[in-house]
A and B are shown apart, each in its own frame.
Chain A
Amino acid sequence: MTGILEVRGLYKSFGALAVTQNVHLTLEAGARHALIGPNGAGKTTLINLMTGVLKPDQGNIFLEQRDVTNMSESGRVKNGLARTFQINQLFRKLTTLENVALSVSERLGKNHVFWSQAWRNSEVLDEAMVLLKRLGLQSDALTVIEELPYGRQRLVEIAITLGLSPKVLLLDEPAAGVPSTETPIILDAVDALGDDIAVLIIEHDMDVVFRFAKSISVLVSGAILTEGTPEEIAENEQVRAVYLGESLDA
């Protein structure tokens, strides 16, 4: 069985601290996979390894059967791997529309052009505007990011990533820090992602995980404890002991 994104035998240590230990993970096309685990389990590290922010000590990463372990971060993005950040990484002094236009423009390879005027034929801006509409952000198109409430900023975080038309999308706690009244907007946006995109979501909120995921991996101390369908994970005694605790019983 081959997936669109495959991680094989990944290891990473920071000094004596082994943050990733022999991790195997496969995402099929159209996957809705959740990665859960207690704080410090190494979930974000795993995303950083997959996207190329960090280099693994050992192991390989395959994107559409192609070994991308030594490929640069930008190379992987060009090949369809995109991520969002747990803590917003936005262009805070730019408008919402420009934030998204930057990623659309980068995908279309226009950001190399330094002689003709940006967006003069508005192809990039039009596409960015379509994305904003999809996420209900059109009324904020000309609002500068730092003036937006946090929940809206989280949506921009997703919109920027969608501007890259990814094949594989890694969502690092998309609903983190968003007031509970606004989480549905984020979740609807995630639900509305196309079936052709494989999605890996890191999330602490179990309601989100069980609503969204068709399969779940549990990461504990850098190693995969177990994998399975949401039902299997919910029934798994080991998982309940290590991570879910009483939160499911309640």
Chain B
Amino acid sequence: MTTKVYDAENPVVFLRDRTRWHWAEALPWIVAVAIFFLQPITLNLGVQILITIIFALSLDLILGYGGVVTLGHAAYFGAGAYVTGMLSAHLGWNEPISGLLAGATVAGAFGFATGWILLRYHGLALLMLTLALGIMMAELANVTEVWTGGFDGLSGIVIDPIFGIFENDLWRRNYYWYSLIATFFVFLACRRIVNSAFGRSLVGIRENTERMRAIGSPVHLRLVTIYTISAFMAGIAGALFAQVNAYVTLDVLSFARSGTILIVLVLGGTGRLYGAFVGALVYILVEDELAKEYPAYWELGLGFVLVLTALFFRQGLLGALESFVRFCKRLKA
């Protein structure tokens, strides 16, 4: 006897309608708006969380859906940050929205060029190559001091008020909304992409690349496409980061940033988009709390959280929640 994972009268209708909006999907946005009004955390921290969500979402597209593991995703975050920053610092391109899109576009183009080569490889070779790419980018930014400010960082970034009205105030009241709206658009795009036939074919590639080739799928092209989109979104996160802080350092390209975003996503759960929300929220809150309580060895506590996740919640926190809900439903039935 086989167990049916889903039970439905009409399988076609069930699968067709599975991508419809669920009421629970309103939750993260309600929470985000509530944070603005109730401010249980500072809005500055909120902005950090939102930027991390965008970055994690971009990673989820390639890792959670395409099955591409990377240790160099900060390269595209950094590209977005530096391009947006340099446009302002050197060329006086201070308009925020076009500056953001310009940074993201360059990051996307860079993702396309590098992805074309990187994605010919997989497994350990790909992991090492993405790692090398990240390190090379950081080194490149270090030596091109004239443009990037090198080790001292890129200063002189001036961002105009959004629509000429909303300034980057010290409490981040305006930039919280700016980041939230950006997050919402990025999320909408991601959700549409993963629920499209293209998105389903990415899952096919993740589950069985050889079979996808055997049914006539141009696997390399598909992966390069999603890699480019992912790099564009990572660029948005980086550009926001540069605009919020009005300052860019080599840190945006660091290996630690690539590693951290991977941890954030795995913590929340890969291949489900909302994992990026849960992971970013939990990671940054825990980091913030631990850093306040134990300034000297907060990373130890974070490591402990990660070990627990890896041991007991293989599917991430969200995966664990899903299993729990399914378990409760079975008890009821």
Contacts and interface: CB of A to CB of B under 8 A. Distances in A.
Contacts of A73: 213-214, 216
Interface string A144-185: 100111001000000011011000000000000000000000
B16 A120 contact: yes
B227 to A, nearest CB: 13
Measured as residues with beta carbon below 8 angstroms from the partner, the interface class of chain A is: 35 or more
A23 interface: no
Interface in B1-29: 2-8, 11-16, 19
A105 B201 contact: yes
Nearest to A141: B11
Contact of B215 (A72, A117, A160): A160
Contacts of B13: 122
A69 interface: no
Nearest to B213: A73
A64 interface: no
B66 interface: no
B15 A98 contact: yes
Interface hub of B14, B192, B196 (most chain A Cβ within 10 A): B196
B314 interface: no
A126 B13 CA distance: 10
A149 B2 contact: yes
B207 A122 contact: no
A43 B44 CA distance: 64
Interface in B175-208: 192-193, 195-201, 203-204, 207-208
Nearest to A144: B5
Contacts of A142: 4-8, 11, 14-15
Nearest to B219: A74
A142 B9 CA distance: 10
A52 to B, nearest CB: 9
Interface in B24-69: none
Interface centre among A85, A106, A110 (most CB of B within 10 A): A106
B72 to A, nearest CB: 24
A222 B127 CA distance: 37
B215 A103 contact: yes
B90 interface: no
B216 A119 contact: no
B218 interface: yes
Nearest to B193: A114
B199 A164 contact: no
A91 interface: yes
A76 B214 CA distance: 9
A97 B16 contact: no
B216 A77 contact: yes
B122 interface: no
A91 B5 contact: no
A149 B3 CA distance: 11
B210 A89 contact: yes
Contact of A91 (B16, B197, B204): B204
Contacts of B193: 114-115
B16 A92 contact: no
Given A85-B214, A143-B5, A114 B15 contact: no
Given A73-B213, A83-B214, A120-B16, A102 B196 contact: no
A118 B11 contact: no
Interface string A202-228: 000000000000000000000000000
B200 A111 contact: yes
28 contacts: A72-B218, A73-B214, A74-B217, A74-B218, A89-B210, A89-B211, A89-B214, A91-B203, A92-B207, A92-B208, A94-B203, A95-B6, A97-B11, A101-B15, A102-B212, A103-B215, A106-B215, A112-B198, A113-B197, A117-B196, A119-B16, A119-B197, A120-B19, A125-B11, A129-B11, A142-B5, A142-B14, A147-B2
Interface of A: 51, 53, 72-78, 82-83, 85, 89-95, 97-98, 101-103, 105-107, 110-120, 122, 124-126, 129, 138, 140-144, 147-149, 152, 160-161, 163-164
Given A76-B216, A97-B15, A102-B212, 4 more contacts: A73-B216, A82-B214, A112-B198, A125-B16
